[in-house]
Amino acid sequence: MDESILESIKKLLGTAQDDTSFDHDIIMDINSVLVILWQMGVGPEKPFRITGPYETWGDYLSDMSELEYVKSYIHLRVAQLFDPPQNSIVEQSRKELIDEYGWRAYIAADSEII
């Protein structure tokens, strides 16, 4: 079974699956990151968005075998928006990972790997 984008990001954020109190905020942040990826050339031809727990990773990218880091990129960007770190070292480390994953996604999209 294909994994829900919202549910997997909630899990990575440490949010309980049955707690829906932050779903609207998390969905908004996920959609913002999906647009960023779309502008980088990653994903479907038209911008992809989620509305709840129904959209899956397979709906977004049918072949994730080479692009697992896209999930990490989305998680890190959403975490940065949803729950910014208070520690500057953690913030810098997260930013460096976001930059690296973003660069790799851009290069992969530009090389038509995606």
Q: pTM higher than 0.75 for the full model?
A: yes
Above 80 in pLDDT, residue 112?
no
Above 60 in pLDDT, residue 18?
yes
Q: What is the pLDDT of residues 53-80, one digit of tens each?
A: 999 998 998 765 667 888 999 999 999 9
2 within 8 A of 71, measured Cβ to Cβ:
no
Q: For position 15, what pLDDT does the model report?
A: 93
72 within 8 A of 23, measured Cβ to Cβ:
no
Q: What is the pLDDT of residues 27-52, one digit of tens each?
A: 999 999 999 999 998 888 899 999 99
Q: For position 105, what pLDDT does the model report?
A: 86
